[in-house]
Structure 1
Amino acid sequence: MTSPHRSARVVLLTGPSGSGKSSLASRTGFPVLQLDDFYREAHEETFPGGPRAPMPLLPDGAIDWDSPQSWDADAAVAAITALSCDAVTDVPVYDIATSSRTGTARLDIGGAPVFIAEGVFAADIAERCRELGVLADALCLRGRPFTTFRRRLVRDLREGRKSAAVLVRRGWRLMRAEREIVARQTALGAHPCGKEEAFARITSAAERRTAARSGRGPARTVSA
């Protein structure tokens, strides 16, 4: 197990679907935990330890994959804690097209001072990560709703995530709700910002953690 002095800290990166989280996370060069891999499976009715709440539904009866109830927050927090303390953990591999888990993969962050956990529900676990002492920062990317709509639709169609009709309906609904989505994530503790500010804050968090490891500064976190 990694000693507390050598442990890593997580930067939670959230924002509306299509806001550019994945591209920014990749640009930083730090290890990335994809929180979308912690979606529940469409057929899931129970989980180890007891019954689970039914999957959230939209008015038309379809599963609402934009609801936090469609996501396994406990498993995500457990993975983040393991990475912070041990630098390695097994994570699920999720196929969005089939709404199912297809296996597991080993994620090893090596000696990185910080790692990024990115996904639309990242802000939902910000307070838990802060209480556990593993949070470096929590950020919410924001931009223009139509730009986000266009980027999201192009990506989802390219990756064949769902049928075109489903993707267009979902994208239009999310575009109209984008400001409310950002407001909710901000209220949960994520700092709203553009990509350049987010990049600068991630870099700063890594520098602080590196300094703390070397004894040049306190191991402190950011209050977003």
Structure 2
Amino acid sequence: MSTRLFKLADSPLFVAEGIFAAEIVGECGRRGLLAGAYALRRPRSATFVRRLARDLAEQRKGPRVLVRRGVALLRAEPAVLRRQTGLGAEAARGRDVLRRVARLLAGHPPVR
């Protein structure tokens, strides 16, 4: 595992997103830096369709490979969500996450 210094300057908040963002939830909480941690909970079929459309448009791999990969990721998605919530992220819908982040930016505490 490698580390990299991350400077916030004068920013009151930062957002970490992506599949590995949950990896820093515990440490951010210990350091008093955690205002919220969320793992997006979406319909798996919607994620499959979005991912497949994106990957087909990028044309990095053949359609058959992309469909197989997409199906594998579709099946793995519940385990990924369980892992992220196990690391401290809260499973939430996208609109709920946006609402909570907007409240944080407005200076209000998150509503749980």
Same fold per superposition (TM over 0.5) = yes
Max radius of gyration: which structure?
1
- Give, in angstroms, the shift of residue 153 of structure 1: 1.2
Distance 1:179 1:157 in 2: 24
Gapped runs of 5+ residues in structure 1? 1-51, 53-71, 88-111, 212-219
- Count of residue pairs the alignment pairs up: 110
1:130 aligns with 2:42: no
The question of whether the paired residues in 1 share the 8 Å contact of 2:41 and 2:93 is answered with yes
Distance 2:24 2:65 in 1: 28
Query: Percent same amino acid at aligned positions?
Result: 39
The one-letter amino acid of 2:35's match is A
- Give, in angstroms, the shift of residue 133 of structure 1: 2.5
The one-letter amino acid of 2:57's match is R
Distance 1:116 1:134 in 2: 11
1:163 aligns with 2:61: yes
Within 5 Å, give how 1:57-136 maps onto structure 2: 74-75=3-4, 78-79=5-6, 82-83=7-8, 86-87=9-10, 112-136=11-35
Distance 1:197 1:138 in 2: 12
- Give, in angstroms, the shift of residue 135 of structure 1: 2.0
Which SS does the other structure have where 2:42 is aligned? coil
Match in the other structure for 2:43 = 144
Which SS does the other structure have where 1:135 is aligned? coil
Gapped runs of 5+ residues in structure 2? none
Identify, as 1 or 2, the structure richer in strand: 1
Match in the other structure for 1:176 = 75
- Give, in angstroms, the shift of residue 195 of structure 1: 1.3
- Under a length normalisation based on structure 1, what TM-score does the superposition of the two structures give? 0.44
The one-letter amino acid of 2:47's match is T
Distance 2:99 2:14 in 1: 15
- Larger relative contact order (Cα-Cα within 8 Å, sequence gap ≥ 6): 2
Distance 1:159 1:129 in 2: 35
The question of whether the paired residues in 1 share the 8 Å contact of 2:42 and 2:94 is answered with no
Following TM superposition, where does structure 1 have runs of at least 4 consecutive aligned residues deviating by more than 3 angstroms? Answer: none
Distance 1:197 1:204 in 2: 11
Give the root-mean-square deviation of aligned CA atoms.
2.4
- Give, in angstroms, the shift of residue 152 of structure 1: 0.8
